Amino acid sequence: MELLTPGTGLLFWQVIIFLSTFFILSKYAWKPIMNSLKEREKFIEDSLESAKKAEEELINIQSKNEELVMDARKEREKILSDAKKLTNSMKDEAKENAKEMADKIISDAKKVIDSEKDKAMLDVKNTLAELSIDIAEKIIKRELSNDTSQRKYVDDLIKEINKSK
Amino acid sequence: MLSIKYLRSSFLLLLIFVSSTFLSFSADKENGDKFDMGEMIMHHILDDYQYEIVHGLSIPLPIIIYSENDGMMIFSSSRLFDENHVPLEEGYNGFKYDHGKLKPLESGMSYFDLSITKNVIFLILTSSLMIIVFLSVARGYANKKTIPKGIQALFEPIIVLIRDDIVKKNIGSQYEKYLPYMLTLFFFILFGNILGLLPAAANLTGNIAITLTLAVFTFLLTNFSGNRHYWKHIFWTPGIPFVMRFLILPIEIIGLLTKPISLSIRLFAAITAGHIVILSFIGFTFIFQSYFVGVVSAIFVVGLNLIELLVAGIQAYVFTLFSSIYIGMATEDAH
C-alpha cells in the first residue's frame, strides 16, 4: 500500500521541477530545434522541387530543340523542293523560249526566202519581158529583108540568148 | 566490427553495474542475521530521506517540513540518526525516522512534508540532465543547414519520431501546440527510466507520485483543450436514445477518469515490476548463499537489465502515445 500512496513532498517537487524543465526546454531547446528542423525540411523540399522544375525545364528545352531541328529540316526540305521546282520551271521556260525563238527565226527565214524568191522571179520575168521585147524588136527589124534570113536571124538570136543566159 | 566492439563494452559496463549492485547487498547481508527479501526490495524501490549508496555509506538529505504550529522547519536527515546510523528513538524537532518514513512523535499533527528525498534528488538529476542534453542539442542547430553531429544526431531521429509518428499522427493539424509538452514528457520518462536502472539509483519513474503527476498534466491538457464535440460526446452522447444518455453519462465520466489512472499505473507498474524482478534475482544469491546461484542470477540480471532498457523506451513511448491519442480525441472534429 505504501507503494501506491504518493508522497506529498514528491508531488510538490515533481510539479515544480517538471514544469520548470518544461518551460526551460520549450523556450531554449524545443523551439529552436523545431524551427531548425522545419527550416531544414523546407529547404530540402524546396531543393527537391527546384530540381524537379529544372529537370522539367530541361526536358522542355530538349523537346523545343527537337522541334527546332525538325522545323529546320522541314524548312530545308521545302527550300530544296522549291528550288528544284524553280529550276524545273526555269528550264521549261528556257526550252520554250528557245523553241519559240527558233520557230520565229525559221519562219522569218522562210519569209525572207519567199520574198527573195518572189523578187528573183520578178527579175526573171522582167528580164524575160525585156528579152522578148528585144527579140521582137530585132525580129521586126529583120522582116524587112527576106524570109529565110529572117528565120536564120531568129535562130541566131535564140542561140545568142541561150548562150548569154 | 564496430558494433561488436560497442556491444562488448556495453556488456562490460552492465556487468560492472550488476556486480556493484551485488556489492551493495553483500554489505546488507553482513549486518543482519536473517535476510528479508521483501524488505530489501521495498527499501530499494521506495523513496527515502537519505541517499544510501551502499550500506553504511549514506548521504543525508535536507528535510523540509511545514506545520501550522511550528511553521517551516529545515534540517538535515542526519539529525534523525545517532553516530552508528541507528534512528534516534526520541527523534528531532518532533519527528522520528521509521523504516524510510518520517513519523511525527505526537499523532494527529497536521504537516506538509516537502523534504528533498532520494527521489527528489533524482528528479533534479533527471531534469538537469535533460536541460544539459537538449540545450547542447539545440546548440547543434544554431549552425544551420549542416549535417547533425554527435549528440544532435543521436536525438534528432527520436525527436522526429515523436513529432511525426506520435504527436502529428494522433493530434493532427494542431500538433505544434502540444509538441513541447510531449517531447518533455517522453524524454523525462525515458531519462528517468534509464537513470533508474543504474545501480544505487532511485526508482523515480516507478514512483506513483511521479507517474500520477504526469498523468494529471495530460488529463488537464486533454480537458482544457477539449472542444465542443468532445464535451458533447461526454454529457450528451449523440446517436443513442434519450434515456440511454443518462445511463451513458456516468460511464463517460468514469472513462474520463480512468485515462489518467491507467496512464499512471501502467508506467509505475512496469518500472517497479522490472526493479522487483531484478532485485529478486539478486536476492536469491543471498537466500541460497551459493556461488552457483550468484553466477546464474548475475547472468539473468544482465539479461533483465537489457530488457529493462527496452521497457524504458517502450514505456516512454506508450505514455506519450496515449497522451497524444487522448488529446487527439479531445480536439478532433465531429465524426
Q: Is the pLDDT of residue B103 over 70?
A: yes
- Residue B210 is nearest to which of A10, A24, A26, comparing CB atoms? A10
Look at A32 and B138 and tell me if their CB atoms are within 8 Å: yes
The residue-averaged pLDDT of B297-311 equals 92
Q: Searching chain B, which residue's CA lies closest to the CA of residue A2?
A: B46
Label residue A145 by pLDDT band (50, 70, 90): low
For A30, counting Cβ atoms within 10 Å of its Cβ (0-12 exposed, 13-18 middle, 19+ buried), the class is buried
Q: Which three cell numbers stand for residue B138?
A: 539545440
- The per-residue DSSP string of A56-115 comes to HHHHHHHHHHHHHHHHHHHHHHHHHHHHHHHHHHHHHHHHHHHHHHHHHHHHHHHHHHHH
ipTM of the complex: 0.85
Which one of A8, A15, A30 would you mutate to disrupt binding with B, by most B Cβ within 10 Å of its Cβ?
A30
The residue-averaged pLDDT of B99-113 equals 78
For B97, counting Cβ atoms within 10 Å of its Cβ (0-12 exposed, 13-18 middle, 19+ buried), the class is buried
Measured in angstroms, the CA of A29 and the nearest CA of chain B are apart by 5
Look at B184 and A18 and tell me if their CB atoms are within 8 Å: yes
User: Is the CB of A98 inside 8 Å of chain B's CB atoms?
Assistant: no
Residue owning grid cell 547481508 = B29
Residue B330 CA to residue B99 CA, distance in Å, equals: 44
Residue B90, SS3? coil
Measured in angstroms, the CA of A34 and the nearest CA of chain B are apart by 9
Residue B210's nearest CA partner among B131, B129, B268 is B268
Q: Is the pLDDT of residue B313 over 80?
A: yes
Considering only CA atoms, give the Rg of chain A.
Answer: 64
Residue A33's nearest CA partner among B323, B318, B163 is B163
Q: Which three cell numbers stand for residue B214?
A: 504526469
Q: Which three cell numbers stand for residue A138?
A: 530585132
- Residue B67's φ and ψ, nearest 5 degrees, are -130, 155
Q: What is the pLDDT of residues B137-152, one digit of tens each?
A: 988 888 766 778 788 8
Mean pLDDT, chain B, integer:
84
Q: Is the pLDDT of residue B165 over 60?
A: yes
Residue B262's nearest CA partner among B325, B174, B328 is B325
Q: What is the pLDDT of residues B244-303, one digit of tens each?
A: 888 888 888 898 999 999 999 999 999 999 999 999 998 888 888 888 888 999 999 999
Q: What does pTM read for this prediction?
A: 0.74
Q: Which three cell numbers stand for residue A51?
A: 530540381
Q: Is the pLDDT of residue B30 over 50?
A: no
Look at A25 and B131 and tell me if their CB atoms are within 8 Å: yes
Q: Note the pLDDT of residue A163.
A: 81
Q: Is the pLDDT of residue A113 over 90?
A: yes
Cβ neighbors of B186 (< 8 A, separation 6 or more) are B158, B162, B166, B316, B317, B319, B320
Angle, alpha carbons B64-B70-B72 (nearest 5°): 30
Q: Which three cell numbers stand for residue B2?
A: 564496430
B-contacting residues in A 12-51 (Cβ below 8 Å): 12-15, 17-18, 20-22, 24-26, 28-37, 39-40, 43
Q: What is the pLDDT of residues A15-73, one digit of tens each?
A: 999 999 999 999 999 999 998 888 888 989 999 999 999 999 999 999 999 999 999 99
Q: Is the pLDDT of residue B221 over 70?
A: yes
Q: Searching chain A, which residue's CA lies closest to the CA of residue B216?
A: A15
Q: Note the pLDDT of residue B307.
A: 93
Measured in angstroms, the CA of A3 and the nearest CA of chain B are apart by 7
Q: Is the pLDDT of residue A83 over 50?
A: yes
For residues B294 and A165, the model is more confident at: B294
- Residue A22 is nearest to which of B42, B144, B184, comparing CB atoms? B184
Q: Searching chain B, which residue's CA lies closest to the CA of residue A27?
A: B180
Label residue B327 by pLDDT band (50, 70, 90): very high
Q: Note the pLDDT of residue B27.
A: 47
| Count of beta carbons in the 10 Å neighbourhood of residue B151 | 15
